[in-house]
Amino acid sequence: MTRAGYRGRFAPSPTGALHAGSLVAALASWLDARSHQGRWLLRIEDVDTPRCVTGAAEHIVAQLERCGLTPDEPPSYQSQRSALYQQALKQLVQQGLAYPCGCTRQDIAHALSERGQPRERHAELVYPGTCRNGLQGKPARAWRLRVGSGQVSWTDRRLGPQVQDVSQAVGDFVLQRADGLWAYQLAVVVDDAAQGITHVVRGQDLADNTARQILLQRALGLPTPRYLHTPLVLGAHGEKLSKQNGAQVLDLSQPLAALAQAASVLGLGAPAADLPGSLKAWTGQWTAQWTA
Ligand code: GLU
């Protein structure tokens, strides 16, 4: 990878403002791009429209701006890129790798219990493959990827070697939902490739999606970027911070303090005491530390 070819991105879903955890991912992806003298893109992942909050995208852009994390290109919005996702689905259908599925959640749960497969609370339902060989008279609802021998190995830059058997862990997964919305997995893979992303830096809670995304890249003949998953920021009770559980909105009245907090999660030391208190000086010092 030539340094000049590096393209990274931060890809928040506009379901709320940035919180302390998402700022860590934003800062890490920005620092990684800077330290590779690469470009840093912002992609607003607003495909799951029912979960998007009006004004959140603009708010996120402003929060990043306040922290001095300015993208090198105008932000892109997934809601404007449906044609690309449609094209990718069409390609997969033509290759016999995507099929329509008529199962409701209930159907899937029922099929699993008939097979005696225990269900853990909150666990994702492993699709039992009911519609793989046809809809059996049911109307098509969603589109799924036909996962063959789904064993995927990859190396995370922080977590090291990873392996997941996608057929065991999730089964044939959804590409387009029953409500017509594009699934995150398809949209993220199409966009990372279309935008020439070479390095994905994001929160560790997304690591589990990587094997699915690599399978999709292979199915679509797309390159696999390098992955780095950053440490999570946990709440006072050890819970994952998320916009859904009302993670505290970032206080950006002192952007340096918020950034210093995020930097410490990444193991970056506080800048030297004699450093001027400017964003540029601090982020410059963290970039040097990150490179080292
Ligand atoms: N939009 C996703 C989220 O906010 C992140 C996508 C990614 O970085 O791959 O959870």
**φ/ψ (deg, to 5) at 71:** -65, 155
Q: Does 255 lie in the same domain as 121?
A: no
Do 61 and 89 belong to one domain? no
Residues 126 and 150 in one domain: yes
- Residues 95 and 65 grouped into a single domain: no
**Of 128, 146, 176, which residue sits at a domain end?**
176
Q: Is residue 188 part of a domain?
A: no
Pair (116, 261) in one structural domain: no
Instruction: Report if residue 255 sits inside a domain.
Output: yes
| Shared-domain flag, residues 148 and 286 | no
The answer to the question of residue 189 being in a domain is: no
Give exposure, 274-287, as e/b (b: 16+ Cβ within 10 Å).
eeeeeeeebbebbb
Q: Report yes or no on 187 lying in a domain.
A: no
Ligand 1 atom closest to Cα of 15?
A: 4
pTM recorded for the entire structure: 0.92
Looking at the domain assignment, is residue 114 inside a domain?
Answer: yes
* Residues facing residue 41 across a β-bridge: 9
Question: Is residue 182 situated within a structural domain?
Answer: no
Q: What is the pLDDT of residue 178?
A: 94
Query: Which amino acid belongs to residue 18?
Result: L
Q: What is the pLDDT of residues 73-102, one digit of tens each?
A: 999 999 999 999 999 999 999 999 999 999
Least reliable range by pLDDT among 162-166, 200-204, 251-255 = 251-255
pLDDT at 247: 59
33, exposed or middle or buried, with CB in 10 Å at 0-12, 13-18, 19+? Answer: buried
Is residue 190 assigned to a domain? no
CB-CB contact of 193 with 220 (8 Å): yes
Q: Rg (Cα) of the chain, in Å, rounded?
A: 20
Q: What's the CATH number where 116 sits?
A: 3.90.800.10
Q: Are residues 163 and 200 in the same domain?
A: no
The CA 27 to ligand 1 mean position distance, Å, reads: 14
Asked if 17 and 145 sit in the same domain, the reply is no
Does 183 map to a domain? no
The verdict on 203 and 217 lying in the same domain is yes
Element (H, E) at 289: helix 279-291
Tell how far the Cα of 34 is from the centroid of ligand 1, in angstroms: 20
Ramachandran angles phi, psi of 235, nearest 5°:
-75, 180
Element holding 282 (H helix, E strand): helix 279-291
Domain of 71, CATH number, reads 3.40.50.620
Residues lining ligand 1, judged by CB closer than 6 Å?
Answer: 11-13, 45, 188, 202, 206
Are 173 and 185 in contact by the 8 Å Cβ rule? The answer is yes
How many structural domains is the chain composed of? 2
What is the 151 CA–ligand 1 centroid distance (Å)? 23
Please confirm, yes or no, whether 243 is among the known catalytic residues: yes
Assess whether 74 and 88 both reside in one domain: no
Burial of 82 (0-12, 13-18, 19+ CB in 10 A): middle
pLDDT tens profile 118-159: 655 556 689 999 999 999 999 999 999 999 988 999 999 999
List 90, 138, 240, 243, catalytic entry: 243
Q: Which amino acid is at 79?
A: S
Indicate whether 144 and 166 sit together in one domain. yes
Q: What is the pLDDT of residues 17-61, one digit of tens each?
A: 999 999 999 999 999 999 999 999 999 999 999 999 999 999 999
Task: Please tell me the predicted confidence (pLDDT) of residue 105.
Answer: 86
Question: 286 is in which domain, residue-wise?
Answer: 3-79+195-291
Query: Taking a C-beta distance cutoff of 8 angstroms, is the pair 212, 170 a contact?
Result: yes
Handedness of CA 78, 167, 163, 268 (dihedral sign): positive
State whether 138 and 54 are in the same domain: no
Distance in Å from the first CA to the final CA of the chain: 18
